[in-house]
A and B are shown apart, each in its own frame.
Chain A
Amino acid sequence: MKTYSRISLFGLLLLVGILLVACGAGPAASPPAAGGAAPAPAAKQQEAAPAQAATNSQLPVDVPRNEVFVADQIFRYSVVDNFNFWINGPHTPHRHALMMETLWIRDQETGKRINDAAISGPKYNDDFTQMDVDLRDNIYWSDGVQFTADDMVYTVETIKGNPDLNAGGWSTQLNQFLDSVEKTGDFSVRFNLKDPNPRFHSLFEARWNGIYMMPKHIFEKVDDPATFTFNPPVTLGAYTVTQTDPNGFWELFTRRDDWDRTPAGIIVGQPGPKYVLTIFYGDSAKKAIAMSRGDLDVYFDVDFEAFQTTLDTTPTARSWYTKFPWAYPNEVSTRQLAFNIESDPIYAEKDVRWALALALDIVDLQTSYIGGVAKVTPLPIPPTASLTKIYLDPMEEWFQNLEIEIEPGVMYKPYDASVPDKIAAWAEGEGYTVPGAPREVFGTGWWKYAPDVAERLLVKHGFSRDNNGKWLKPDGTPWTMDLQSPPDENDAFRMANAATDMWSAFGIDVNLQGLERSVWSQNNYVGQFNVSTPWTSFALASGDAWPRVRALHPDFYVPNGEDYRSKGGGTLARINDPKLGEFIDQMQGLDPSSEENFAVTRKFLEYWVENMYDITAISFKKFVTWDERYWTGFPTSENPTYMPLYWFQGGKFAFESLKPVSQ
């Protein structure tokens, strides 16, 4: 008896195991048969009848499905019921897109400045000590009060006078640059600056965000603006927040009836969805599942495998391109393998850094590890349409003629302009169609894969190989490298994997450490690493570089061991190069949108590349994916009206462009 039931139990477990294997071993593309008893997860049934799906929708709020646009909230809100965006803490993603306005917004896709609460661009006087702004005279707060210059002046003076209102460092910076602000008319304002500053307007020009306008008539009644939670907020944007989840998983926004009295409504010219619901489902897998069930209309990014699943299960979903390479490639940032040049003397030698660059096979990295979906770039400048025109195209000739010295008198041209073509060939080999010229789709050329040249560069500096082919440093000790990367930053970690594999094959003992995000960034701050995988861009979408490269000035240099930001700026690379300082000083006084400024920046970049201070490999990509089950009209590669990055403040135009799918 005892034996029998034990054996039968074991058999039961085995059966369950076999069942699961049977589910798993089926072709990856088709949904699992799963015994047939229960409905197969989403796949075929859902997309056939969107109207039916409305009834089994699992949304946490009770609004008609075809009137609500469900967006990925990206993370679970930990700060709830606080909409005071002028202090550090309350969450801004997509909330500021839907509700907050600043003066101008720089769109990352088109590179153009969009007039938000201002009616025209900033007007400086000749020596950049005064800035005049004209505001819109047709926008209103959600409680019916009109937006005027009084709000503008009140906002600036309140932030300037209260150091706690320091979101984005606005209070500090206003105090640093601004002398006084005055209204010169009901809808015009003049700023008087302390020193000449052609970039003062950038405080009000959103890359991520710009100084949010405060409603004077609300805040002036409050005792302490820093502790005021501004709940519910009075908004200048097209939406107000109507329901929030106390546990931070979702938030419901309702469109204002007078949406046409807000900048987004005026500029885009259409109402946008009646309701917007942001909801956090969990990790990539859960988002993909939610979208396949019709419970999510857009997600901001998922990992590659989850995205493939979306393609397989949700025919109405699409990313920037409908087909390969799918992802949105024009977010302004790039990914580097960055050196801590003070962690070991070998990294301070530029030839060693060049050798490491030449030991990487960028085509393999971009195709096998990244899947071919991000653009290649050798500069910390992403090859977006506008930035390519300003930097990468004009510099192409310089790249092709660039020479480095291998041995005394022996020169070598490291640049390979055909990299995009090679990637295109790979793509076609995989059966994909390339939607444009290779240089448009896959980025620019990169360094050649030349381990033999890399070897010669190393040997020149006293490196040698031991009996197993592993590299020994000039002092005879084995070359081991600590390469650190956070696994939850997908592309960075995969890039790190590629570097590990390739540099190991080259003969270096690479120790890849997948660190907890906070530990990784801490190590970056204090310099406890050899090579890390950060991300940055040296230029804003407007093309201006100074705000981004300013920190590289040798004035901010801090030696290894202390937090590199101890003087406010600095870089994890611990670079202390006076020549960089010269370039930066030159840029400082120039008009950011002038050709002069760009020319200086190009020289800066040439110097940077000659010294190979970092190895930039790829630019950012995001699988921002929209489901056309209920909503359409969002920006795509066929319709690149605005950037699809809906969580930036400039995402307001993407939201506003949405129209319901007509049945």
Chain B
Amino acid sequence: MILFREYILPRLIQWLVVIFIGVTVTFLVPRLSPVNPVAQAVGRASAFQTLSPEATLALRESLMDLYGLNGTIWQQYINFWKRILSGDLGPSFTSFPMTVNAMIGNAIGWTIGLLGTTVIIAWILGVILGGLAGYFQDRWWSKLVENTLIAIYPIPYYIVAFVLLMILAFYFPIFPLVGGASGAPGFNWNYLSSLLKHSFLPALSIILGATAFRFIMSKALASTEVSSDYVQYAEMAALPRRKILFSYVIRNTMLPQVTDLGLSLGSIFEGALITEVVFGYPGIGNALYVAIISADYNMIMGVTLLSIVGIATASLLVDLTYPFFDPRVRYR
């Protein structure tokens, strides 16, 4: 009971408040833009065909209504919350009549697939390599890995992605230039292998940087553990190296690493925007980018909402389950 009152309840309230404020900010900011979605839509409609003045006016009327841009900001805000709470993210402005729900539905699978696998792979690689490097600090291979990853880590992500694209899709055209997969979706080898082929470069670009980050973190943590008493004792007791490495060193670095993993998984919904734009990958990052450029408020709102909820919830879950992992917190 005390635990609930002192710890869980405030945390839950914080979760709600954070989402509420985040969503409000994302509601307001696009509306501060001078770009008027109705004007844009009318412009798009008259880009190819000549709309008569009467038709232009009629179009504007119907769009104002459709986009829910009638009324004051406050009224729009209220209507917006009503809609959101019933699960309807509204129609997309630029891709009418597609709904935001439908568009996110089409794209989310790709992002989750790409980021889900890369986050986990990078985490595992980083933890293991970092642990190894932290433990075997003086070996040549440890230093080589460390130096390579330290050199890669600071490079801006865009540059990494761009250089990969340049080398492996352009100069040596091994990988395709755009898209998520080829052919119609199905559980056949053709489709699945094309899936792998299309996602290899984006995944590689993410894994490089993410592994480097995890490695550095992991190595630092492992180094601290290595110099501690119980490890030295284990070594003197001639326990097998592998056991010391995995059961003692790496295991004790798990706490912050696992929470980081949780948070990383939560931010999957943010989408890998740059990755998807550079590699033409059809995930929600790409959809968000297009939405921003074309002033599609509903779409921006939908994806950002998903992202905010994802990150906040992951953070909440991590905080709530932390006591179960860390005995020290439990006994406080």
User: A517 touches which one: B52, B58, B293 (CB < 8 A)?
Assistant: B293
Q: Does B39 contact A (CB under 8 A)?
A: yes
Contact: A166 with B58, CB < 8 Å?
yes
Q: Which residue of A lies closest to B143 (CB)?
A: A5
- A123-151 residues at the B interface, CB under 8 angstroms: none
Q: Chain A: which residue is nearest B58 at the CB level?
A: A172
Asked if B55 and A173 make an inter-chain contact with CB atoms under 8 angstroms apart, the answer reads yes
Contacts of A58 in B (CB 8 A): 176, 182
| Other-chain contact of B178, A1, A286, A528 (Cβ < 8 Å) | A286
Q: How far is the CA of A517 from the CA of B140 in the complex (A)?
A: 53
* CB atoms of A563 and B180 under 8 A apart: no
Least CB distance, B301 to chain A, in whole angstroms: 16
Verify if A448 is at the interface (C-beta below 8 Å from B): no
B203 at the interface (CB under 8 A from A): no
> Chain B interface: which of A108-116, A345-353, A546-554, A614-622?
A546-554
Could you say which residues of chain B place their CB within 8 Å of the CB of A176? Answer: 52, 54
Question: Are B177's CB and A1's CB within 8 A?
Answer: no
B55 in contact with A169 (CB, 8 Å): yes
**Chain A residues near B58 (CB, 8 Å)?**
163, 166, 169, 171-172
How far is B283's CA from A249's CA once the two chains are assembled, in angstroms? Answer: 13
Enumerate B132-187 residues with CB–CB distance to A below 8 Å.
138, 140, 143-144, 147-148, 151, 170-174, 176-185
A556 / chain B contacts, CB cutoff of 8 Å: 53
Residue from B110, B148, B177, B190 within 8 A of A282 (CB atoms): B177
- Inter-subunit contact B48/A208 (CB<8 Å): yes
B230: CB under 8 A from chain A?
A: no
Write out the residue numbers on chain A whose beta carbons fall within 8 Å of the beta carbon of B103.
Answer: 78
Kindly provide the distance from the CB of A27 to the nearest chain B CB, expressed in whole angstroms: 16
| Residues in B neighbouring A166, C-beta threshold 8 A | 55, 58-59, 62
Tell me the minimal C-beta distance from B281 to chain A in angstroms.
Answer: 10
Whole-angstrom distance between the alpha carbons of A471 and B94 in the complex?
Answer: 43
Say whether A289 faces chain B, with CB atoms less than 8 Å apart. Answer: yes
CB pair B49–A280 under 8 Å, yes or no, is no
> What residue of chain A has the Cβ atom nearest to residue B50's Cβ?
A547
- In angstroms, how far is the closest chain B Cβ from the Cβ of A91? 9
Q: B147: nearest residue on chain A (CB-CB)?
A: A9
- Cα distance A204–B46 in the bound complex, in angstroms: 17
Contact A522 B62, beta carbon cutoff 8 Å: no
Of A247, A523, A568, which is within 8 A of B180 by CB?
A247
A42 lies within 8 A of B173 (CB): yes
Query: How far apart sit A211 and B26, CA to CA, in the bound complex (Å)?
Result: 40
B35 within 8 A of A: yes
Chain A residue contacts of B49, Cβ below 8 A: 168-169, 207-209
> Which parts of A47-103 form the interface with B (CB within 8 Å)?
58-62, 76, 78-80, 82, 87-90
Q: Which residues of chain B have C-beta atoms less than 8 A from A121's C-beta?
A: none
Query: Please, how many residues of chain B have a CB less than 8 angstroms from a CB on the other chain?
Result: 63
B74-112 to A contact mask, C-beta < 8 Å, 1/0: 000000000000000000101111100001001100100
Q: How far is the CA of A164 from the CA of B43 in the complex (A)?
A: 18
A494 at the B interface (CB under 8 A) = no
A525 pairs with B39, CB closer than 8 A: yes
A589 at the interface (CB under 8 A from B): no
Which residues on B sit within 8 Å (CB–CB) of A548? Answer: 50
Cβ-based interface call for A28 (8 A): no
* A594 contacts B by Cβ under 8 Å: no
Asked if B307 lies at the interface with its beta carbon under 8 angstroms from chain A, I say no
Residues A41 and B39 in contact, CB atoms below 8 Å apart: no
Residue A270, interface by CB 8 Å: no
A568 x B97 contact (CB < 8 A): no
B56 proximal to A (CB < 8 A) = yes
* A2 on interface, CB distance cutoff 8 Å: yes
> At the interface, yes or no: B282 with Cβ under 8 Å from chain A?
yes
Are A78 and B55 also in contact (CB < 8 A) when A9-B151, A289-B177 are? no
A42 CB contacts on chain B under 8 angstroms: 173
Report if B259 contacts A (CB, 8 A). no
Q: Which residues of A contact B140 (CB under 8 A)?
A: 1, 5
User: Given A176-B54, A518-B295, A79 and B97 touching (CB < 8 A)?
Assistant: yes
Q: Are the CB atoms of A41 and B34 closer together than 8 Å?
A: no
Docked Cα-Cα span, A392 to B176, in Å, equals 48
Interface residue B42 (Cβ < 8 Å from any Cβ of A): yes
Report how far A38 CA is from B177 CA in the complex, Å.
17
Provide the bound-state CA to CA distance between A427 and B296, in Å: 45
In this assembly, does B264 line the interface, its C-beta being within 8 Å of a C-beta of chain A? no
Identify which of B94, B96, B174, B178 contacts A249 (C-beta below 8 A): B178
Fill in one digit per residue for B104-128: 1 if any A CB lies within 8 Å of its CB, else 0.
0011001000000000000000000
Cβ contacts under 8 Å, B194 to chain A: 60
Which chain B residues border A207 with CB–CB below 8 Å? Answer: 49-50
Q: Does B280 contact A (CB under 8 A)?
A: yes
Asked whether, in the complex, the Cβ of B96 is within 8 Å of the Cβ of A38, the reply is no
Apart from A62-B190, A525-B39, list 16 A-B contacts with CB within 8 A. A5-B140, A38-B171, A61-B183, A78-B103, A80-B106, A89-B95, A176-B52, A208-B48, A247-B180, A249-B179, A282-B280, A286-B177, A517-B293, A523-B34, A550-B52, A563-B36
Residues of A within 8 A of B (CB): 1-2, 5-6, 9, 13, 23, 32, 34, 38-39, 41-42, 58-62, 76, 78-80, 82, 87-90, 163-164, 166, 168-173, 176, 207-209, 227, 243, 246-249, 280-282, 286, 289-290, 293, 516-519, 521-523, 525-526, 528, 547-548, 550-551, 556, 563, 565, 567-569
9 cross-chain CB contacts under 8 A: A9-B148, A34-B172, A58-B182, A89-B98, A90-B97, A168-B55, A249-B178, A293-B173, A568-B53
- Which positions in B face A, CB cutoff 8 Å? 34-36, 39-43, 45, 48-60, 62, 92, 94-98, 103, 106-107, 110, 138, 140, 143-144, 147-148, 151, 170-174, 176-185, 190, 194, 280, 282, 290, 293-295
